[in-house]
Structure 1
Amino acid sequence: MVRSLWSGASGMKGQQIQVDTIANNLANVNTTGFKAQTAQFKTLLYQTLQAQSTNAQGETKPTSAQVGLGTRVASLNANFTQGAQLASDSKTALCMIGEGFFAVQDGEETHYTRNGNFTWAIDTDGSKILTTAEGYRVLDTTGNPIRLPATAGELGFGVNIDDGSISYKDAAGNIIQTGQSIARYQFTNRVGLDKIGENLYDQSAASGEPIPEWSTAGVITSQIAQGYLEGSNVNVADEMVNLIIAQRAYEMNSKAITTSDTMLEQANNLKR
């Protein structure tokens, strides 16, 4: 009886995490570049109630009797399928098409993101730098921030980003190439990236080292579309169906606990 109580409790805990994951997906349905997550489950250890043996006639019993001890969450995996391209009026709105990630600088740390909702900001020396909405600097292929001279127009007006390459118009209307290109990185295992919030990811031992697309042979290069943003890949209909399934599973595990409690009560009443 006690085994069934713990198994039911483990199932309720697992389904609670499933509901939490689905709720987080639905909350970020309009978050630029957000990737939905799914909970993966695994069984706990099994107890052997009766091992393989022989019966009274010496015949071998082919199977043993084993019972499980419930379930637990094995991992929360992100789904990195491409989100929809959403048109934007911003000239610094960039949509990553492919498996690449933007690199942004936070102090001495480098993070990676699919959110291309960037803007121009004024640096301490008066030049213009490309940043995220949180102020993290977008990096180029040399690991330096994307920078424009102070004479490049008001807050980057007239700046063009052609598949990641930066150019602008000077006072005479001439197009000046800055020589900078937005960095694009890939990972051997994107699912292994560490999520740190603000739609940012950090490399981990599971994800492997970042792979620069511009200098690695055999890598399919991602494209950058100016004037577009990558929408969330959350499918609301699928999430609502999964939410109902998780709720029903939670109720069934709760019913298993209630049934076990009733059986224990009946067993105790037998002594009276």
Structure 2
Amino acid sequence: MMRSLWTAASGMISQQTSVDTIANNLANVNTVGYKSESTQFKSLLYQDLQSKTTTANIEQKPVAAQVGLGTRVASITSYFSQGSLNSSDSDTDFAIVGEGFFAARDLDGETVYTRNGNLYMATAIDGMMLATADGYPILDVDDNPIILSTDYKVSELTISTDGELLYPDESNNPVPLGMKIALYQFTNPSGLDKIGGNFYKETESSGVPISEEYDEVGKKSTLKQGYLEASNVQVANEMVNLITAQRAYELCSKAITTSDTMMEQANNLKR
């Protein structure tokens, strides 16, 4: 009887994690560049109640009698499908169309990656620096911060679809400034380490970052100025998943109640 108690309890714990994941998705439904997550489960060990060869003549039985001991969370997987593009009034907002990531340098000097194209021109020692809302400098294809002189007007800066910074000359023709926003892809983006703030770090599971400028990639990403990539969370799907997780949680709690009732009846038996 105790087996069913612990089995149902493991289900309740796992479903609680699923609800937590869904709640995080819904909380980030308006977060720029956020990617939805899903909880994956796996079964625990099985206990043998009867082996395949337990007959008196030691004959092979077709199946054994095994009972499962519950479930646990195997992983929480992120889905990097393309989010919809929303128009923006800022000249330094860029949406990535494709599988690429921006590269930025955090306060520890390490390279982090993001899909959030809500960028700003921050004040730097040598001029203006293209940076994230947290002040992390955005890196170019040569792994250097993108710094411009204060002589440039941000409102007149444009970028090409491949990330090349352009500025109009005297004839109002866009001229490359010799700077290009870096975009990187990963073999397994779901393996990236989520560190908060819409930033990721590479891991052994994600593989090394693949530069779209210098390495071979299946399909290069493009940038759209004046747009932001919305979260790919589908609210209707999340609500269905939330109801499913809630019902599963209730069923597990019902199994615990039933096991308790059966134990109570067994304890009340009289000779």
What's the TM-score bracket when you normalise by the shorter of the two chains?
A: over 0.9
Distance of 1:204 and 1:8 partners within structure 2: 34
Letter of the 2:231 counterpart:
S
**Structure 1: runs of 5+ lacking an equivalent:** none
Stretches (4+) displaced over 6 A: none
- 8 Å contact from structure 2 (residues 38, 77) kept in 1: yes
SS at match of 1:138: coil
Aligned partner of 1:178 in structure 2 is: 177
SS at match of 1:137: coil
Distance of 1:219 and 1:130 partners within structure 2: 28
Distance of 1:170 and 1:218 partners within structure 2: 33
- 8 Å contact from structure 2 (residues 210, 217) kept in 1: no
Distance of 1:58 and 1:210 partners within structure 2: 58
Aligned partner of 1:196 in structure 2 is: 195
Aligned partner of 2:68 in structure 1 is: 68
Bigger Cα displacement from structure 2, 210-219 vs 80-89: 210-219
Deviation at 1:56, TM superposition (A): 4.8
Bigger Cα displacement from structure 2, 2-11 vs 47-56: 47-56
Aligned partner of 2:131 in structure 1 is: 131
Distance of 2:10 and 2:43 partners within structure 1: 10
TM-score in terms of structure 1 length: 0.94
Bigger Cα displacement from structure 2, 169-178 vs 255-264: 169-178
Letter of the 2:30 counterpart:
N
- 8 Å contact from structure 1 (residues 148, 178) kept in 2: no
Distance of 2:59 and 2:225 partners within structure 1: 75
SS at match of 1:76: strand
**Fraction of identical pairs, as percent:** 57
Q: 1:129-165, CA deviations, whole angstroms, 9 ceiling, x for partnerless residues?
A: 1011111111100001111112113xx2311111211
- 8 Å contact from structure 2 (residues 185, 209) kept in 1: yes
Deviation at 1:53, TM superposition (A): 2.2
Distance of 2:219 and 2:231 partners within structure 1: 23
Q: Is 1:20 aligned to residue 20 of structure 2? A: yes
How many correspondences in the alignment?
269
Aligned partner of 2:151 in structure 1 is: 151
Kindly report which structure 2 residues correspond to 1:231-242, keeping only aligned pairs within 5 A, or say none: 231-242=230-241
SS at match of 2:74: strand
SS at match of 2:261: helix
Q: Is 1:41 aligned to residue 19 of structure 2? A: no
Letter of the 1:239 counterpart:
E
Letter of the 1:132 counterpart:
T
Deviation at 1:121, TM superposition (A): 1.1
Q: 1:53-73, CA deviations, whole angstroms, 9 ceiling, x for partnerless residues?
A: 253576543211100110000
Q: 1:30-79, CA deviations, whole angstroms, 9 ceiling, x for partnerless residues?
A: 10000000000000000101111253576543211100110000000001
Deviation at 1:269, TM superposition (A): 1.1
- 8 Å contact from structure 1 (residues 213, 219) kept in 2: no
Aligned partner of 2:249 in structure 1 is: 250
Aligned partner of 1:162 in structure 2 is: 160
Distance of 2:23 and 2:170 partners within structure 1: 51
Deviation at 1:170, TM superposition (A): 6.2
SS at match of 1:215: coil
Distance of 1:124 and 1:223 partners within structure 2: 30
SS at match of 2:86: strand
Q: Is 1:206 aligned to residue 210 of structure 2? A: no
Distance of 2:125 and 2:170 partners within structure 1: 23
Letter of the 1:77 counterpart:
T
Distance of 1:224 and 1:190 partners within structure 2: 19
Deviation at 1:102, TM superposition (A): 0.4
Deviation at 1:175, TM superposition (A): 4.4
Distance of 2:203 and 2:21 partners within structure 1: 21
- 8 Å contact from structure 1 (residues 152, 170) kept in 2: no
Q: 1:141-195, CA deviations, whole angstroms, 9 ceiling, x for partnerless residues?
A: 0001111112113xx2311111211122468856442201000000010110000
Bigger Cα displacement from structure 2, 17-26 vs 211-220: 211-220
SS at match of 1:252: helix
Aligned partner of 2:50 in structure 1 is: 50
